[in-house]
């Protein structure tokens, strides 16, 4: 900054001195005779001024040159610094370029600011010196020259900045290229590693296959040897057999006849295994039982039942003599699909009693329910309305398909409250679960009376779920409705029918 000020002043003073000298010569001629002593004095002063101006101009020129040189050096240093930084950073982002650009712009701005300040100062100084002279012209010329100098400096600075930018970009490109090369090398190495691993795996597989083939060959050889041995033995036996053909033929016929007889006996025994309903009822709890009956209804399939160890289903079965409740007996999904109403099945299990309910449970071998093709039977519901209240009579028809006629729906304690709690309409006559502690999807309990006596009925959700007609129908029942019902006479510490249909009269 100071350099520019001094240089500009020197140039200005030099120009002023030269202009002033020319003017003094003309005036000297005009006033030569009248003002000779003054002229001489002025001439001496002018000469001194010229000498001083010349010296000043020289000094200013020297300083200006030094200033330009310093600016160039500074710019070069800046470029060098940017180059070094760009190279070291090795990060190919535009941020570096932006930083360089910003720096260059800042440098330009600084140079411009300094130049303008120098010009201003020089102008001030020139104005002071030429206050009483005709230096305006010279000043204008100087200004022009100064502007030209400033422009030249600006142009030079821009060129320097551009060069710096170009060099920085080149550096960035070089870094990017190097980075790409590094990445490529890494990728190549990774691919090579993967290929090597694959090759190793293939080799391992090949080795395993070869070993397997060898084992197979060994086994085959061993088997072949065994076969040869057997064949040799058999050949020897054949020789003997040929000699005894007639005798053996007689023996074979006898054996065949004996086997046939045994087979007939086995079938007869198998048929005897299947119990009649009376035999089944006479069996004790935990006795093994085998029954044949016809599916009347089935509850949902229980896949992978942990209590049994396989897929199971609970089935209501019946024949002309009586009914069976098959609790969680082994049934695969394929067999389950085929268990239609009326399908004949054979079941092997243990007899059991749970809370009064007589049932068959899985045996130790988890023998699956067996479908017997050909025959079909769908039981007609037995009307047991008149048996209500007689526990012994009811237990005699346990598990059978039954009907209840002309029953009256009764208020169920907690029904209204439960519904109020769950936000449904009040006045309903059913409960979710036995006391209303359940929710939609659970068993429905409701009361109906006959001859003034109250009985509880259940819609078992695994048999008739929330989407079934009976589930929906029970939810519509109102106290006082007269209904007919059908269902299965399930037992839990007393009669607890599983209702499958409800008809409001």
Partner 1 sequence: MRKIGKTLLLAVFALLCAGCLGGCHGRVSTTSFAVPASFDEEDSYEITFWAKNDTNKTQVRIYNKAVEGFQKLYPNIKVNLRLYTNYGDIYNDVITNISTGTTPNVCITYPDHIATYKTGKHTVVPLDDLAADPKYGLGGTELKFDGPSQEEIIPKFLEEGRIDGFLYALPFMRSTEACYINKTYVEKLGYEVPDVLTWDYIWEVSEAAMEKDKDGNFRVNGQNVMIPFLYKSTDNMMIQMLQQLGAGYSTPQGEVLLFNDTTKELLQEIASHAKSRSFSTFKISSYPANFLNAGQCIFAIDSTAGATWMGSDAPLVDISPDKVVDFETVVRPVPQADPDHLQMISQGPSVCIFNKPDPQEVLASWLFAQYLLTNEVQISYSGTEGYLPVTSKAQQSEEYLDYLAAAGEDTKDHYQIKIDASRLIMDHTEDTFVTPVFNGSASLRDAAGHLIEDVSKGARRKKEIDDSYIQKLFESTEKLYHLDQIQVEGKEEDLRDLGPFPATAVGLLTLLGIAWALILLYVIADWLRSGKKS
Report long-range pairs for 411-419 (Cβ below 8 Å, ≥24 apart). 411/447, 411/479, 412/445, 412/446, 412/447
Q: Computed from CA positions of residues 397, 401, 403, 408, in that sequence, does the dihedral angle turn out positive or negative?
A: positive
Q: Minimal CA–CA distance to 408: which of 478, 469, 460, 497?
A: 478
In whole angstroms, the minimum distance from the beta carbon of 248 to partner 1 comes to 43
Residue 414 is a binding residue for partner 1 (CB under 8 A): yes
Residue 94 is a binding residue for partner 1 (CB under 8 A): no
In whole angstroms, the minimum distance from the beta carbon of 360 to partner 1 comes to 13
In whole angstroms, the minimum distance from the beta carbon of 403 to partner 1 comes to 24
Write out the binding residues for partner 1, residues 100-139 only, by CB under 8 A.
102-103
Write out the binding residues for partner 1, residues 481-500 only, by CB under 8 A.
493-494
Given 189, 259, 375, 406, the residue binding partner 1 (CB under 8 A): 189
Q: Which residues share a beta bridge with 290? A: 348
In whole angstroms, the minimum distance from the beta carbon of 354 to partner 1 comes to 6
Is 99 or 281 the residue whose CB approaches partner 1 more closely? 99
Write out the binding residues for partner 1, residues 281-300 only, by CB under 8 A.
285-286, 288
Given 89, 169, 319, 479, the residue binding partner 1 (CB under 8 A): 89
Is 63 or 443 the residue whose CB approaches partner 1 more closely? 443
CA 409/CA 457 separation, integer angstroms: 10
Given 45, 66, 194, 220, the residue binding partner 1 (CB under 8 A): 194
Q: How many residues does the chain have?
A: 505
The one segment of 186-194, 211-219, 255-263, 466-474 that binds partner 1 by CB under 8 A:
186-194
In whole angstroms, the minimum distance from the beta carbon of 364 to partner 1 comes to 8
Residue 204 is a binding residue for partner 1 (CB under 8 A): no
Residue 445 token pair = 């309990």
Is 187 or 214 the residue whose CB approaches partner 1 more closely? 187
DSSP at 397: T
Residue 373 is a binding residue for partner 1 (CB under 8 A): no
DSSP at 491: B
Contact 495, 489 (CB under 8 A): yes
Burial of 251 (0-12, 13-18, 19+ CB in 10 A): exposed
Residue 395 is a binding residue for partner 1 (CB under 8 A): no
Write out the binding residues for partner 1, residues 440-459 only, by CB under 8 A.
442
Is 298 or 351 the residue whose CB approaches partner 1 more closely? 351
CA 407/CA 483 separation, integer angstroms: 5
SS3 of 189-211: the string is HHHHHHHHHHHHHHHHHHHHHHH
> Max CA-CA distance within the chain?
183
In whole angstroms, the minimum distance from the beta carbon of 395 to partner 1 comes to 13
The one segment of 84-92, 116-124, 254-262, 367-375 that binds partner 1 by CB under 8 A:
84-92
In whole angstroms, the minimum distance from the beta carbon of 481 to partner 1 comes to 24
Residue 193 is a binding residue for partner 1 (CB under 8 A): yes
Grouping H, G, I as helix, E, B as strand and the rest as coil, residue 130 is coil
DSSP at 276: P
SS3 of 45-73: the string is HHHHHHHHHHHHHHHHHHHHHHHHHHHHH
Given 128, 235, 242, 355, the residue binding partner 1 (CB under 8 A): 355
In whole angstroms, the minimum distance from the beta carbon of 161 to partner 1 comes to 15
Calculate Rg over the CA atoms of the chain: 59
Given 45, 170, 181, 190, the residue binding partner 1 (CB under 8 A): 190
Binding mask 296-335 for partner 1 (x = CB under 8 A): ----------xx-x--------------------------
CA 378/CA 27 separation, integer angstroms: 149
Given 93, 155, 263, 376, the residue binding partner 1 (CB under 8 A): 93
Is 20 or 349 the residue whose CB approaches partner 1 more closely? 349
In whole angstroms, the minimum distance from the beta carbon of 241 to partner 1 comes to 44
In whole angstroms, the minimum distance from the beta carbon of 9 to partner 1 comes to 32
Residue 205 token pair = 């597989």
Residue 105 token pair = 């712009």
Residue 495 token pair = 């009669």
Angle at 189 between CA 185 and CA 194, to 5 degrees: 150
Is 98 or 337 the residue whose CB approaches partner 1 more closely? 98
Number of residues that bind partner 1 (CB under 8 A): 45
The one segment of 120-128, 181-189, 293-301, 382-390 that binds partner 1 by CB under 8 A:
181-189
Backbone angles phi, psi at 413, to 5 degrees: -60, 130
Contact 289, 350 (CB under 8 A): yes
Residue 134, CB half-sphere, CA atoms under 13 Å: how many? 7
Q: Minimal CA–CA distance to 444: which of 418, 494, 436, 481?
A: 436
Interface with partner 1 (CB under 8 A): 88-91, 93, 95-96, 98-99, 102-103, 182, 186, 189-190, 192-194, 196-197, 285-286, 288, 306-307, 309, 350, 352, 354-355, 364, 414, 418, 421, 432-439, 442, 493-494
């Amino acid at each position: 900054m100071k350099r520019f000020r001094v240089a500009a002043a020197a140039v200005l003073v030099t120009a002023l001195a030269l202009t002033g000298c020319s003017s003094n010569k003309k005036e000297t001629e005009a006033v030569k005779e009248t003002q000779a002593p003054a002229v001489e004095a002025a001439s001496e002063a002018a000469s001194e001024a010229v000498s001083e101006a010349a010296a000043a101009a020289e000094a200013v020129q020297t300083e200006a040159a030094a200033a330009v040189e310093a600016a160039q050096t500074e710019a070069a240093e800046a470029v060098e610094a940017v180059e070094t930084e760009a190279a070291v950073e090795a990060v190919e982002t535009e941020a570096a370029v932006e930083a360089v650009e910003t720096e260059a712009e800042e440098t330009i701005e600084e140079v411009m600011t300094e130049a303008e300040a120098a010009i201003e100062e020089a102008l001030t100084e020139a104005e002071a010196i030429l206050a009483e002279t005709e230096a305006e012209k010279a000043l204008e010329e100087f200004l022009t020259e100064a502007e030209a100098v400033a422009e030249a400096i600006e142009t030079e600075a821009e060129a320097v900045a551009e060069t710096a930018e170009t060099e920085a970009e080149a550096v960035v490109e070089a870094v990017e290229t190097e980075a790409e090369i590094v990445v490529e090398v890494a990728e190549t190495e990774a691919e090579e590693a993967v290929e090597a691993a694959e090759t190793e795996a293939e080799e391992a597989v090949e080795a395993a296959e070869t070993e397997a083939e060898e084992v197979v060959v060994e086994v085959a050889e061993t088997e072949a040897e065994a076969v040869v041995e057997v064949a040799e033995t058999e050949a020897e036996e054949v020789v003997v057999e040929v000699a005894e053909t007639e005798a053996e033929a007689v023996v074979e016929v006898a054996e065949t006849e004996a086997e046939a007889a045994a087979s007939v006996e086995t079938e007869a025994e198998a048929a005897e295994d299947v119990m009649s309903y009376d035999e089944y009822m006479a069996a004790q709890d935990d006795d093994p039982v085998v029954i044949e009956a016809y599916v009347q209804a089935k509850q949902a399939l229980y896949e992978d039942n942990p209590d049994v160890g396989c897929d199971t289903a609970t089935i209501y079965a019946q024949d002309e003599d009586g009914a069976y409740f098959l609790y969680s007996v082994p049934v695969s999904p394929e067999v389950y699909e085929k268990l239609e109403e009326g399908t004949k099945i054979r079941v092997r299990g243990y007899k059991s009693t749970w809370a009064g309910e007589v049932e068959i449970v899985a045996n130790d071998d988890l023998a699956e329910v067996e479908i017997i093709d050909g025959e079909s039977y769908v039981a007609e519901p037995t009307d047991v309305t008149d048996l209500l209240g007689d526990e012994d009579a009811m237990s005699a028809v346990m598990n059978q398909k039954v009907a209840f006629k002309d029953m009256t729906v009764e208020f169920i304690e907690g029904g209204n409250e439960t519904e109020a709690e769950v936000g449904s309409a009040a006045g309903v006559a059913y409960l979710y679960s036995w006391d209303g502690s359940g929710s939609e999807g659970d068993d429905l309990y409701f009361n109906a009376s006959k001859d003034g006596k109250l009985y509880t009925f259940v819609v078992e959700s695994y048999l008739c779920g929330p989407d079934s007609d009976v589930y929906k129908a029970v939810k519509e029942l109102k106290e006082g409705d007269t209904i007919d019902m059908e269902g299965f006479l399930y037992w839990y510490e007393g009669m607890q029918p599983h209702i499958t249909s409800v008809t409001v009269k």
